[in-house]
Structure 1
Amino acid sequence: MPRRATTDKAPDDRSSSLLTAVNDRRISALIVDQVRSLIHSGQLTPGDRLPPEREMCERFGVSRVTVREALRVLEASGLVEIRVGAHGGAFVTQPSSERVGASIIDLLTLSSVSPSEVTQVRRVLEVGIMPVLAEAAEEEDFADLERICEEQEAALKAGHYDVELSVEFHTRLAAATHNSAFELLVRSFHGPLLMSLETAQATAPEMGRRGLSEHRKILAALREGDAETASQIMSDHLSRTERRLHPAPARGGRKRKS
């Protein structure tokens, strides 16, 4: 049957020849590992379409049930997208901060990483970008950040402050570096950041108003190109959040081990 015309990348001899037969009890897992390795190495790139199920069965030497199970795992991992229709199939996806963020949330949920540890990571990253922001941030960036501060103030006055506004501020601040790597890192940390702020807010509801004040002081320092002052304010800002997440033991009590 002649191949249908399509705007998507079609399976070809290159992608087909990359796949080799597997033989193990956990066959579907080995298929997943093989496809993941090809994506990580760049041999399969975003937009590439994997071979049809029948051809994958022949290449791997397995049943369609096994191939479909592997494709479901790859789709759940955000590595491929399954499309239906005349031009359907399994396509390698473009990496995104949302997918990375979801993976980080799962990791934090299933591991022993605490909100306090999340804040320690934020301190390294967000204090570290202050010198970059002092040089790279533009008027449009400051206007967006001021708008977020105004929304924060309105929410506080109305008595229903949402820490999501704080997350938005810090995410937009990273974007103002005009460095896609910084922005991707902070955006992918959206879930853990929200988790740590919600935990801190539960112990200190007044943090929203004080945090807004510090946000505005950071912006003022950056407008002046004063990276040192902005760094100090951000450091204090995050240290205070960290203290709320990991309060000091009461006097006379046993000191918590570090």
Structure 2
Amino acid sequence: MTNREAASLSAVSGSVRIPKTAELVADRLRTEIVRGQLKEGDTLPPETTLMEEFGVSRPTLREAYRLLEAESLIQLKRGARGGAIVSVPDISVASRYVGLILQMSGTTLDEIHEARIIFEPACARLFTERRTDDDLDDLHACIDRMRAVTEQDLDSNKAPEMWAELTGTFQAIITERCGNNALSVQAGVLRDIVRTHQKYALARGTQREGTWPAFRRNLRSYEKFVDIIATGDGAAAEEHWSAHLRSVGKILFGRGAGRASIVELFG
């Protein structure tokens, strides 16, 4: 379609928005990244090469770069060896945007955890049915580190943060390796929000009576869960993980804490 045809269509319909040239350039580069033609770590061709290829000015190309950078698809590095480097966005990118929508809708922590109880047990079942020996080894290694925290580092001020990090890693193994990318991403976004709250909640509750026994109970639950995974019983794993999350929810969101909007958490 020529520019004249596009302008004519816009005038007739009154509702068609013609993309800016920078957006079209960004679309082209984005497609190449998504399809794997441009891989993580690749450096895009020099600006002069791309300007000639797309028939655009330097300001237009740099505007396209800014669009891709905002999507975490490229990183811009300055200097003689700089340029636009292809990057792959992680789950935090999705969490940031979804979290913003949830904040604006007044979503509470209870709602986040309720959704997590729906998604994660399904991931646990798939993971159990598809796991590899390496997956099982990684879970055992994570539990060993959790055990070290509960047995040796409980008096450390960093213990709550360490525990939150380890449990987050354990949960990430389950959801990210379940073999279903759609479930993995949705579960990961929810988990990221809960982990943020968990760090704050544990830090505030380090001196609360009963905190460390709760850690030890959770550790036993993780150990039992891994034993179930080892048997390959997906249904039992799903049931156990659902019960585990409900128990954790009582600890993290008890005494009305779950009624707080996530605006209070991230704002």
Asked if structure 2 preserves the Cα contact closer than 8 Å seen for 1:221 and 1:230, the reply is: yes
Asked if structure 2 preserves the Cα contact closer than 8 Å seen for 1:199 and 1:245, the reply is: no
Asked if structure 2 preserves the Cα contact closer than 8 Å seen for 1:116 and 1:246, the reply is: yes
| Distance verdict in 2 for CA 1:165–1:58, change over 3 Å | closer
Matches within 5 A, 1:93-242: 93=86, 95-96=88-89, 98=90, 100-108=91-99, 111-112=102-103, 113-157=107-151, 158-159=153-154, 160-161=159-160, 162=162, 163-177=164-178, 191-201=192-202, 202=204, 205-206=211-212, 207-242=214-249
Aligned residues with identical type, % of pairs: 20
Aligned amino acid, residue 150 of structure 1: D
Asked if structure 1 preserves the Cα contact closer than 8 Å seen for 2:124 and 2:238, the reply is: yes
Gaps spanning 5+ residues in structure 2: where? 8-18, 39-43, 260-267
TM, length-normalised to structure 2: 0.63
Q: Give the SS at the match of 2:20.
A: helix
Once the two structures are TM-superposed, the CA of residue 147 in structure 1 deviates from its matched residue by: 1.4
Gaps spanning 5+ residues in structure 1: where? 1-17, 24-28, 250-255
Q: Hey, what's the Cα distance between the residues in 2 that align with 1:175 and 1:200?
A: 25
| Distance verdict in 2 for CA 1:233–1:190, change over 3 Å | closer
Aligned amino acid, residue 223 of structure 1: A
TM, length-normalised to structure 1: 0.65
Once the two structures are TM-superposed, the CA of residue 151 in structure 1 deviates from its matched residue by: 0.5
Q: Hey, what's the Cα distance between the residues in 1 that align with 2:80 and 2:126?
A: 48
Between Structure 1 and Structure 2, how many residues are aligned? Answer: 223
Q: Give the SS at the match of 1:130.
A: helix
Q: CA RMSD, aligned part only?
A: 4.1
CA deviations over 1:192-238 (Å, ceiling 9, x no partner): 24214325534673443222111111111122233233222211111
Asked if structure 1 preserves the Cα contact closer than 8 Å seen for 2:221 and 2:244, the reply is: yes
Aligned amino acid, residue 237 of structure 2: A
Identify which of 47, 52, 68 aligns with 1:52: 47
Q: Hey, what's the Cα distance between the residues in 2 that align with 1:71 and 1:178?
A: 33
